[in-house]
Structures are given as C-alpha cells and as structure tokens.
Amino acid sequence: EVPSPPVLAAPTPSPQTPPSPAKPTMPSQPHASPSHLPGGGGDDRVGVGITVKRDEDGLYVVREIAGGGSADQSGQVFAGDRVVEIDGRSMVRASTQDISRSILGQQGTWLSLLLKRKDNTTHLVQLLRSAPPQAPSRNPSAPPVSSPSTPPPPPPEPYQLQIPLEGSLVAVPLNLRRVPLTGAVTVTGAEGGVGDGDELTHVDGVAIEGKSDKAVIALLLGQAGSKAQLTLKSGGVEYRIMVERRMVERPGGEEK
C-alpha cells in the first residue's frame, strides 16, 4: 500500500496591529502681539498721548501729541519739549525701555513730567494717564451716542511740612513742602543760596526718596548750632550746601 501523504495544518495568520488613528491636527494658537512701545507691559497700561524721540544730547524730545489725549488736553506740552525727568527720575540717556516703562501705567494714575522748553526754561507738568480716544463708529445704522465727559480728578495739592518743636532740637532754616504726586520735598522761597522750587534729595547723605514726613523731619532736626549737609536738585543738576540748624520764626510769630 502506498502511504497517504501527511496532512499539513494551514498556517495560522499572525494578528496584525491595526494602524493607530491619526491624531487630529490642532490649529496653531496665535501669538499675542507685543506692545508697540518697548516694555509696554500689555494692554492694561496706558500713557498720556505723546510720542518721543532721542536727540544727540541723550534727551527725549516730544515729537507728536495725540489729539484728545491727556497731554493735548492739558495745553502744557508742546512738540520740541525735552523730557528731563519723569516722576522725579532723570531721563537723560535713559533707554527706550526705561522711558516707556516710566510713561506707561495704570489708567487713572498721575504722571509728573519735568520738561525743558526751547528757551531753556523748565516746567513741571502733571498729567493723568488715560486710554487714547476711540475712533467713532463706522456703522451707519447706529445712531451717534454722545457720552458725557467726566473731568479727571485734580492732582493732590502740595502741602507744607510742619516741623514740630522737639525740646532742644531745632531744624534747618528752610520752608519745605511735600508733593504728594511724586513724594518730592521742595523748597518754598529762596534763601541762603537755595532757589525757590529746588528739590531736597538728601540730608547728610541719607536719601529722602521713599521716606515718610516724620522720617524726613527727623533728618532735619538736631541740636542748635549743628550743621547739616543738604543735597538739592535744580533743573536736573545736583548741588550741596552746609546749613546751620537754628531757631527760626514761624509765620504766626512762633519760633521753631
């Protein structure tokens, strides 16, 4: 007999891994466009409606004034004015980031500009930071809406520093006032080589900036006959003088 050929089992097909479903392509997120001013800090910071450029002396000059902006409404800022200080900080040879960060801030806050005119006179201007005026609606079917304009609140007024009598302690013979907007301490009335409106920055080398009224007065007090070195600033230029603490008469006849 012829043997039957062996029966070969059919090969079992190996399971195939189904292809992974394609991941849906997510649309790319648009990048937030940076502020057009260096260091602008985003849309929540606004300025006073001026454009500046740096001149050959390292000072920033007002080039344009936006119509309806805070600078335009004040009537105290002109094209060609040079920005010497912003909020008491010198802008001479400052970077574009420094000046833009100094100008921009929260809406409704005040800004102090020390400007130098073409005739070399200096002017301190206080401006309210506000958003630029919006363009009128282009929808012809919408009736014009007129919103009443609310005048900005006035800046806080400077006040006289009242130096109390502290036993045997007396103060320097200068009338001083505080500017709440910037915290600066300035001289009222010219006396002893100090100009009216000059800013007091240091007493015996200690800075005035950031100090309370009480702390400033403590620096000015001392024994009668003792001397204090005062550092003052006039038109952005610092100078130093030595003054003697003594009893001086107050306007009401009282000595201090």
Name the pLDDT band for 52 (thresholds 50, 70, 90): very high
Quote the pLDDT of residue 229: 92
pLDDT value for 19: 53
Split at pLDDT 50, 70, 90, the class of 56 is confident
pLDDT in tens, 141-157: 444 444 555 566 666 77
Question: Can you tell me which residue has the tokens 């009338």?
Answer: 175
pLDDT in tens, 1-51: 555 555 544 555 555 555 555 544 444 333 333 333 433 344 578 999 999
Evaluate the CA torsion angle 79, 82, 87, 93 in order and state its sign: positive
Tell me the pLDDT tens digit for each residue of 210-219: 778 888 888 8
Q: Is the dihedral of CA 240, 180, 40, 60 positive or negative?
A: negative
Give the model confidence (pLDDT) of 193-226 as tens digits: 788 888 899 999 999 887 788 888 888 888 888 9
Separation in Å, CA 93 to CA 44, 53, 84, 90, 99 = 27, 12, 10, 9, 10
* DSSP-derived secondary structure letter, 205: T
pLDDT value of residue 155 = 67
Q: Which of 62, 84, 118, 109 is nearest to 199 (CA)?
A: 84
Is 217 in a helix, a strand, or coil?
helix
Which of 45, 49, 68 shows the shortest CA–CA distance to 149?
A: 68
Do 76 and 123 form a contact (C-beta atoms < 8 A)? Answer: yes
| pLDDT value of position 167 | 64
Check: CB of residue 55 under 8 Å from CB of residue 94. Answer: no
The better pLDDT of the pair 240, 5 is held by 240
Distance of CA 94 to the CA centre of its chain: 13
Amino acid identity, position 169 = L
Output the pTM of the full model. 0.44
Q: Tell me the average pLDDT across 99-117.
A: 88
* Percent of the chain whose pLDDT exceeds 90: 16
